[in-house]
A = this chain, B = another copy of it.
Amino acid sequence: MLPMPEPADVVSALGAASLFSNLSLEELRLLAGHAVRKRYAQGELLFSEGDACKGLHIIVTGKLRIFKSSASGREQVLAVEGPGGSVAELPVFDGAPYPASVSAVEDAQILFISRSDFRSFCLAHPEVALKMLAVVGARLRRLVGIIEELSFTTVRQRLASVLVRLAQTEGKHTGQSIEIQLPGTHQELAHQLGTVRELVSRNLMRLQAEGLVQVEARHITVLDLPGLTAILDSSS
Asked if A68 is at the interface (CB within 8 A of a chain B CB), the reply is yes
Quick one: copies of this chain in the complex? 2
Question: Nearest CB to that of A69 among chain B residues?
Answer: B152
| Interface status of A148 (Cβ within 8 A of chain B) | yes
Q: Does A37 contact B (CB under 8 A)?
A: no
A144 beta carbon closer than 8 Å to chain B: yes
Interchain CB contact (< 8 A) of A137 among B68, B90, B126, B144: B90
A143's partner among B71, B140, B235 (CB-CB below 8 A) is B140
Q: How far apart sit A72 and B153, CA to CA, in the bound complex (Å)?
A: 10
Select which of B99, B132, B148, B151 is within 8 A of A133 by beta carbon: B132
Tell me, rounded to whole Å, the shortest Cβ–Cβ distance linking A93 to chain B.
5
A134 to B96, CA, bound (A): 11
A window 37-55: CB within 8 A of B: none
Q: How many residues of A contact B (CB 8 A)?
A: 40
- Report the bound CA distance from A117 to B145 in whole Å: 29
Contacts of A148 in B (CB 8 A): 68, 70, 76
Which of chain B's residues have a CB closer than 8 A to the CB of A150?
147, 150-151, 194
Judged by a CB distance under 8 angstroms, whether A130 is at the interface is yes
Contacts of A68 in B (CB 8 A): 144, 147-148, 151-152
With known contacts A126-B126, A147-B78, A137–B71 Cβ distance under 8 A: no
A216 contacts the other chain (CB 8 A):
no
Residues facing B in A48-77 (CB within 8 A) are 68, 70-72, 74, 76
A33 CB, min distance to chain B CBs, angstroms: 23
Are A140 and B139 closer than 8 Å at their CB atoms? yes
User: How many Å from the CB of A6 to the closest CB on chain B?
Assistant: 26
Chain B nearest CB, measured from A135 CB (Å): 10
Question: Is the pair A100, B144 in contact by a Cβ cutoff of 8 Å?
Answer: yes
Q: Does A233 contact B (CB under 8 A)?
A: yes
